[in-house]
Amino acid sequence: SSELTQDPAVSVALGRTVRVTCQGDSLRTYYANWYQQKPGQAPVLVIYGKNDRPSGIPARLSGSSSGNTASLTITGAQADDEADYYCSSRDITGNHVVFGGGTKLTVL
């Protein structure tokens, strides 16, 4: 089983705010990275570090962390945000990389 736990599915009304969470002991030590994956496409890094966004990622996506939980927040969700979202970090030993099971975000 994954060492990072995500809700399998979350939905949000168009234009509203949604939070996707990721829980794991390693998150007390390491920041989470967040990846967005749309059907038939490769994953794309959307949030990394404390709350950094790669070039081209809209500012409505943001990251935060508290204790063993990391969160990806989408403020004013758009239809284009509908995708699978995966968190990842180092595992508790720091030697391996782990991914959460993924959250399917539906924009209603």
For the CB of residue 61, give the shortest distance to another protein in the complex, in Å. 15
What is the CB-side half-sphere exposure of residue 17 using CA atoms within 13 A?
A: 8
Q: What pairing do the DSSP bridges indicate for beta strands 33-37 and 83-90?
A: antiparallel
Binding segment (CB under 8 A) for another protein, from list 11-19, 21-29, 75-83, 88-96: 88-96
Query: Is-contact 104 11, C-beta < 8 A?
Result: no
Rank residues 31 and 76 by Cβ distance to another protein and give the closer one: 31
Q: Which of 21, 26, 36, 89 binds another protein (CB under 8 A)?
A: 89
